[in-house]
């Protein structure tokens, strides 16, 4: 047993292991108020809700309050380890500024009211607008942090009850490209790989994936392999010098927005050197000849001119991939939020397919998610899809969903694709959407081009409902605010990035009159009196477990089949990866072990899209190209970003996460350890760029784009020349008078034509010195990107104790 400061040492002690061995367990424990395990009244099962890794934990309860957390050593995902956000951010549940009663706007001010008044106002506005303007006047924008049962209830009442097509999640901003790239290649969503592939891989390739800060426990697993016998080789594609890049065998630092050109060069080299598994390609894919023709001109020399990556480095990376025996590839925001996002994600899929690296231990693809329940938004139909990966353009799929809901197929809108987030906000801007219900997200900080977003949300004609834990920047603009319960205060299931389903049990009561999101949605449906075609209640479930049973029926026979799961099974020692059914009663470690399962024309979730316009392809076109339902090797030409550096804005601005915060800090900044670890926004710049601008570490800079300007302290780092970085977490809720600091003041309204995901990583920007006062930098001094100086070790208190975490090794 050891204790260590998990702010200064975020990944904890190493437990090295060899290829093919089981990752040793290490139980991480943090209790506040000086408590010991023996003093805890109860331990309640749960999993993490501040990233997508799905780390299983038990919640410590004493006196009816959450007082700490402990990792679950028997879980397949984390083997007992916890992320620093998991260890400390539970304290936000007990924050004194939680919303505890509904609020309504009267005479321009938000005032407290009762639930009946608030819900009656929402229902009356819903009915009036539907009667006057139709269901297209409504919009629903949800999150990636609710539970499966809540999303499914929301999707059912919106799509099957209100016949409204305008439902999407904020997962559109972070991982819509994950699902779209999988659909384009494999015909359906669903991660092919498993976290257990880390245990077997001899080569791990990370494309735009700073795993050390976004999924810290997965990085712990990789670190333990790297420090063990026969370590894997690491390929890292990232313009920044991250902790992951520091361990890379080959580190490629492309200019943001040029991923497709770089990936085409890697494909060109794999084909030119004949590192291709021709039997696998012949048996399981279509499109090889066309792909080879597309990438033939993207030699390393040509790619160097586009990406700024030396041709020799591209050749070394290609050899790493080409000589791999067991290749695991992971992808995240550096691809998803950049130019040609889906096309780039598809080329990563193509690399694994050409090498035959799929469906075997150590051979997999993880198109990662960013949020804890992002997978569930896509599964349940709350993120621009129909539930259970049904194809909106396939009338038989729509009819099957209508059967599940017992409604007429015409009740479910499907003449056009489900409306994506960027279009929902555009419709609100244009005035066709007059009602917007925002649940569990904060678009006034997280959306691109915030000046525009604030003007949309602030329209007099838009009736804005916000359902959240705190009075966020978005909630402060609402007409009605509903206080929601959160993790630890309600029960529900959720699924992580490698398809592992966990159950989170209610541990304590929510504060005041706050309610679970499920109860709020059920109440809304009841008050609207939504009915099926036989006159019975459309939503026939009444709590989380009955909602889970309803979801099981909806998912049966589909790729994300939960029909063999139950709450009792999920109360076991570990989460379980779907599909779980009669064929796979104990879950499924990897997909596509015996072929491509759901790519056939009658089964696929999508018929594909035009790579330039994003227009849906016709069913006949898909069937002609892929009659046997194989994986599609779809190539793409490189197209430059719409906004490129100029004389006035000579830098490329990219945005991203820091280890110690999540989204807009509404939870993490209310945990003292995490707040102190990354208190203020900063801007990263290379040493060469800083010298040319005559700037010093800690200078206060103005960072400007063609849209706006913000202020941030300078941190000189190993980022590539010509690129600057801002973390996107920092808004204004904790300091309304603060100078502009939100990174999304600067980002642009532009999105990927296939996934409709906004581009947060290719804005043009400039910098200007504002002040140099000689004081220490206000930028965070201890983030994963900059190792902590022991002299400035962050010490935070909870009940008088330092932020020490107990780590128990097996």
pLDDT at residue 803, rounded to an integer: 74
pLDDT at residue 518, rounded to an integer: 98
Q: Which residues of 515-538 are buried (b: 16+ CB within 10 A; e: fewer)?
A: bbbbbbbbbbbebbebebeeeeeb
pLDDT at residue 737, rounded to an integer: 83
pLDDT of 789 > 70? The answer is no
CA 788 to chain centre: 27
CATH of the domain at 297: 3.40.228.10
Residue 279 CB neighbours (<10 A): 9
Q: Average pLDDT of 242-253?
A: 98
Contact 165, 412 (CB under 8 A): no
Given 50, 71, 96, which residue is the final one in a domain?
96
pLDDT of 786 > 50? The answer is no
CATH of the domain at 476: 3.40.50.740
Q: pLDDT category, 804, cuts 50, 70, 90? A: confident
Helix (H, G, I), strand (E, B) or coil at 680: coil
Structural domain boundaries enclosing 745 = 651-779
611 within a domain of the structure (yes/no): yes
91 with 122, same domain?
Answer: no
109: exposed, middle or buried (C-beta count within 10 Å: 0-12, 13-18, 19+)? exposed
Q: What is the dihedral of CA 600, 601, 607, 611, to 10 degrees?
A: 60
550 with 407, same domain?
Answer: yes
481 with 539, same domain?
Answer: yes
270 within a domain of the structure (yes/no): yes
Whole-angstrom distance, CA of residue 157 vs CA of residue 276: 48
Q: What is the pLDDT of residues 372-414, one digit of tens each?
A: 999 999 999 999 889 999 999 999 999 999 999 999 999 999 9
Residue in the structure block whose two tokens are 């892929």: 626
340 within a domain of the structure (yes/no): yes
pLDDT at residue 802, rounded to an integer: 60
pLDDT at residue 800, rounded to an integer: 36
End-to-end alpha-carbon separation of the chain, Å? Answer: 9
Q: Average pLDDT of 166-181?
A: 96
Q: What is the dihedral of CA 659, 220, 490, 517, to 10 degrees?
A: 50
pLDDT of 780 > 70? The answer is no
Return the bridge partners of 685, or none: 716
Q: Average pLDDT of 178-206?
A: 98
Whole-angstrom distance, CA of residue 370 vs CA of residue 705: 26
Contact 237, 207 (CB under 8 A): yes
CA atoms within 13 A on the CB side of 793: 12
Residue in the structure block whose two tokens are 């051979």: 363
CATH of the domain at 743: 2.40.40.20
285 with 217, same domain?
Answer: yes
Contact 215, 585 (CB under 8 A): no
427 with 529, same domain?
Answer: yes
Return the bridge partners of 684, or none: 715, 725
Contact 172, 417 (CB under 8 A): no
From edge to edge, which strands make up the β-sheet containing 109-112?
A: 109-112, 103-106, 480-483, 463-468, 435-439, 138-142, 167-169
Whole-angstrom distance, CA of residue 667 vs CA of residue 371: 14
Q: pLDDT category, 259, cuts 50, 70, 90? A: very high
Whole-angstrom distance, CA of residue 146 vs CA of residue 60: 21
pLDDT of 121 > 90? The answer is yes
Whole-angstrom distance, CA of residue 692 vs CA of residue 650: 13
Whole-angstrom distance, CA of residue 482 vs CA of residue 40: 32
500 within a domain of the structure (yes/no): no
- What is the largest distance, in Å, between two alpha-carbon atoms of the chain? 74
Q: pLDDT category, 777, cuts 50, 70, 90? A: very low
Mean pLDDT of the chain: 95
Q: State how many domains the chain has.
A: 4
pLDDT at residue 129, rounded to an integer: 98
111 within a domain of the structure (yes/no): yes
Q: Which of 165-174, 693-702, 721-730, 735-744 has the lowest mean pLDDT?
A: 735-744
108 with 85, same domain?
Answer: no
Percent of the chain, pLDDT > 70?
Answer: 96
3-state secondary structure 481-532: EEEECCCCCCCEEEECCCCEEEEECCCCCCCCCCECHHHHHHHHHHHHCCEC
Q: Average pLDDT of 213-229?
A: 98
22 with 109, same domain?
Answer: no
461 with 486, same domain?
Answer: yes
pLDDT of 801 > 70? The answer is no
Q: What is the pLDDT of residues 264-294, one digit of tens each?
A: 999 999 999 999 999 999 999 999 999 999 9
In the 8-state DSSP scheme, what is residue 616?
B
pLDDT at residue 775, rounded to an integer: 54
638 within a domain of the structure (yes/no): no
Percent of the chain, pLDDT > 90?
Answer: 93
pLDDT of 663 > 60? The answer is yes
What region, left, alpha or beta, does residue 710 occupy, with left being phi > 0 and alpha being psi -120 to 50 degrees?
beta
Secondary structure element (H or E) that encloses residue 103, with its range: strand 103-106
318 with 298, same domain?
Answer: yes
pLDDT of 791 > 80? The answer is no
127 with 163, same domain?
Answer: yes
Sign of the CA dihedral with 488 first, then 498, 211, and 70 last: positive
Q: What is the pLDDT of residues 508-535, one digit of tens each?
A: 999 999 999 999 999 999 999 999 999 9
Sign of the CA dihedral with 178 first, then 181, 184, and 186 last: negative
Q: Which two tokens stand for residue 636?
A: 């793409």
Q: Which two tokens stand for residue 160?
A: 């099957």
pLDDT at residue 783, rounded to an integer: 36
Whole-angstrom distance, CA of residue 266 vs CA of residue 315: 8
DSSP string spanning 23-86? Answer: PPPEEEEEESTT--GGG-SEEEEEE--SSSS--EEEEEEETTEEEEEEE-TT-TTTTT---HHH
pLDDT of 311 > 60? The answer is yes
Given 69, 96, 123, which residue is the final one in a domain?
96
Q: Which two tokens stand for residue 806?
A: 């107990």
Whole-angstrom distance, CA of residue 578 vs CA of residue 148: 13
pLDDT at residue 479, rounded to an integer: 98
pLDDT at residue 807, rounded to an integer: 86
CA atoms within 13 A on the CB side of 760: 29
Q: What is the dihedral of CA 79, 485, 801, 670, to 10 degrees?
A: 110
Q: What is the pLDDT of residues 632-655, one digit of tens each?
A: 999 999 999 999 999 999 999 999
Q: Which of 220-224, 333-337, 746-750, 794-798 has the lowest mean pLDDT?
A: 794-798
pLDDT of 257 > 60? The answer is yes
Given 96, 125, 140, which residue is the final one in a domain?
96
Q: Which of 88-102, 468-482, 782-796 has the lowest mean pLDDT?
A: 782-796
3-state secondary structure 698-767: CCEEEEECCCCEEEEEEEEECCCCCEEEEECCCCCCCCCCCCCCCHHHCCCCCECCCCCCECCCCEEEEE
pLDDT at residue 774, rounded to an integer: 55
Give φ, ψ of 510 to 5 degrees: -70, 160
Q: Average pLDDT of 490-504?
A: 97
251 with 362, same domain?
Answer: yes
671 within a domain of the structure (yes/no): yes
Q: Average pLDDT of 105-134?
A: 98
Q: Which two tokens stand for residue 583?
A: 């064929």
Whole-angstrom distance, CA of residue 187 vs CA of residue 630: 8
750 within a domain of the structure (yes/no): yes
In angstroms, what is the C-alpha Rg of the chain? 25
386 with 356, same domain?
Answer: no
pLDDT at residue 591, rounded to an integer: 97
**Parallel/antiparallel/unpaired status of strands 109-112 and 103-106:** antiparallel
Could you tell me the CA-to-CA distances from 420 to 26, 171, 434, 589 in Å, in that order?
A: 41, 10, 16, 31
Q: Average pLDDT of 579-597?
A: 96
pLDDT at residue 2, rounded to an integer: 82
Q: What is the pLDDT of residues 8-65, one digit of tens each?
A: 999 999 999 999 999 999 999 999 988 999 999 999 999 999 999 999 999 999 999 9
């Amino acid at each position: 047993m050891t204790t260590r400061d998990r702010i200064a040492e975020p990944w904890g002690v190493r437990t090295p292991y060899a290829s093919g061995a089981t990752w040793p367990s290490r139980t991480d424990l943090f209790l506040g108020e000086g408590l010991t395990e023996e003093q805890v009244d109860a331990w309640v099962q749960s999993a993490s809700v501040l990233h997508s890794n799905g780390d299983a934990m038990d919640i410590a309860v004493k006196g009816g309050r959450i007082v700490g957390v402990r990792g679950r050593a028997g879980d397949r995902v984390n083997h007992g380890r916890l992320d620093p956000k998991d260890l400390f951010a539970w304290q936000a549940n007990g924050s004194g500024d939680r919303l505890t009663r509904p609020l309504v706007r009267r005479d321009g001010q938000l005032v407290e009211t009762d639930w009946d008044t608030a819900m009656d106002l929402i229902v009356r506005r819903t009915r009036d607008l539907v009667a006057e303007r139709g269901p297209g006047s409504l919009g629903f924008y949800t999150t990636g942090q609710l539970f499966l049962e809540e999303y499914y209830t929301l999707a059912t009442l919106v799509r099957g009850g209100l016949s409204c097509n305008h439902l999407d999640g904020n997962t559109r901003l972070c991982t819509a490209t994950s699902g779209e790239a999988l659909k384009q290649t494999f015909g359906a969503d669903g991660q092919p790989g498993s976290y257990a592939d880390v245990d077997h891989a001899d080569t791990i390739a990370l494309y735009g994936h700073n795993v050390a800060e976004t999924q810290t426990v997965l990085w712990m697993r990789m670190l333990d392999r790297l420090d063990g016998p026969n370590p894997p080789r690491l390929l890292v594609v990232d313009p920044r010098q991250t902790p992951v890049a520091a361990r890379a065998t080959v580190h490629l630092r492309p200019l943001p927005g040029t991923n497709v050109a770089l990936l085409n060069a890697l494909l060109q080299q794999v084909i030119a050197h004949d590192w291709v598994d021709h039997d696998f390609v012949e048996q399981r894919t279509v499109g090889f000849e066309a792909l080879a023709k597309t990438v033939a001109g993207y030699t390393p020399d040509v790619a160097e001119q586009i990406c700024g990556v030396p041709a020799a480095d591209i050749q070394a990376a290609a050899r790493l991939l080409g000589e791999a025996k067991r290749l695991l590839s992971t992808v995240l925001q550096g691809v998803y939020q950049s130019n040609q996002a889906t096309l780039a994600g598809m080329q990563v899929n193509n690399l694994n397919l050409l090498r035959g690296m799929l469906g075997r231990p150590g051979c997999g693809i993880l198109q990662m998610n960013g949020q804890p329940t992002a997978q569930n938004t896509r599964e349940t139909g709350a993120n621009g899809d129909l539930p259970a990966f049904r194809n909106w353009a396939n009338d038989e799929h729509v009819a099957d969903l209508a059967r599940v809901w017992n409604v007429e197929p015409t009740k479910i809108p499907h003449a056009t694709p489900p409306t994506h987030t960027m279009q929902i906000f555009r419709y609100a801007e244009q005035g066709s959407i007059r009602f917007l219900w925002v649940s569990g997200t904060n678009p006034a900080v997280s959306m691109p081009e915030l000046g525009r977003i604030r003007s949309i949300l602030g329209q007099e004609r838009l009736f804005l409902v916000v359902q959240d834990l705190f009075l966020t920047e978005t909630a402060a603009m609402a007409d009605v605010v509903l206080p929601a319960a959160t993790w630890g205060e309600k029960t529900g299931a959720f699924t992580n990035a490698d398809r592992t389903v966990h159950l989170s049990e209610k541990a304590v009561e929510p504060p005041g009159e706050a309610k679970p999101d499920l109860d709020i949605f059920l109440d809304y449906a009841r008050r609207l009196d939504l009915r099926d075609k036989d006159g019975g209640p459309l939503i026939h479930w009444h709590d989380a477990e009955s909602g889970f049973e309803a979801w099981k029926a909806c998912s049966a026979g589909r790729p994300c089949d939960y029909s063999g799961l139950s709450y009792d099974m999920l109360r076991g020692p570990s989460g379980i990866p779907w599909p779980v059914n009669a064929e796979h009663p104990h879950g499924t470690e990897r997909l596509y072990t015996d072929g491509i399962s759901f790519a056939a024309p009658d089964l696929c979730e999508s018929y594909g899209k035009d790579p330039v316009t994003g227009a849906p392809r016709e069913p006949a076109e898909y069937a002609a190209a892929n009659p046997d339902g194989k994986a599609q090797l779809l190539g793409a030409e490189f197209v430059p970003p719409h906004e490129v550096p100029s004389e006035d804005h000579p830098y490329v601005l990219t945005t991203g996460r820091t280890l110690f915060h999540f989204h807009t800090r509404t939870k993490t900044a209310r945990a003292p350890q995490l707040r102190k670890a990354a208190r203020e926004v900063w801007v990263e710049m290379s040493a060469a760029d800083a010298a040319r601008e005559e700037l010093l570490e800690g200078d206060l800079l103005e960072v400007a784009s063609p849209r706006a300007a913000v202020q941030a302290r300078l941190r000189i780092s190993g980022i590539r020349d010509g690129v600057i970085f801002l973390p996107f977490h920092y808004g204004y809720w904790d300091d309304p008078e603060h100078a502009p600091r939100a990174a999304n003041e600067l980002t642009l309204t532009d999105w990927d034509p296939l996934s409709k995901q906004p581009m947060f990583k290719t804005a043009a920007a400039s910098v200007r010195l504002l002040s140099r006062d000689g004081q220490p930098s206000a930028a965070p001094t201890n983030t994963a990107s900059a190792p902590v100086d022991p002299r400035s070790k962050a010490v935070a208190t909870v009940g008088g104790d330092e932020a020490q975490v107990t780590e128990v090794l097996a």
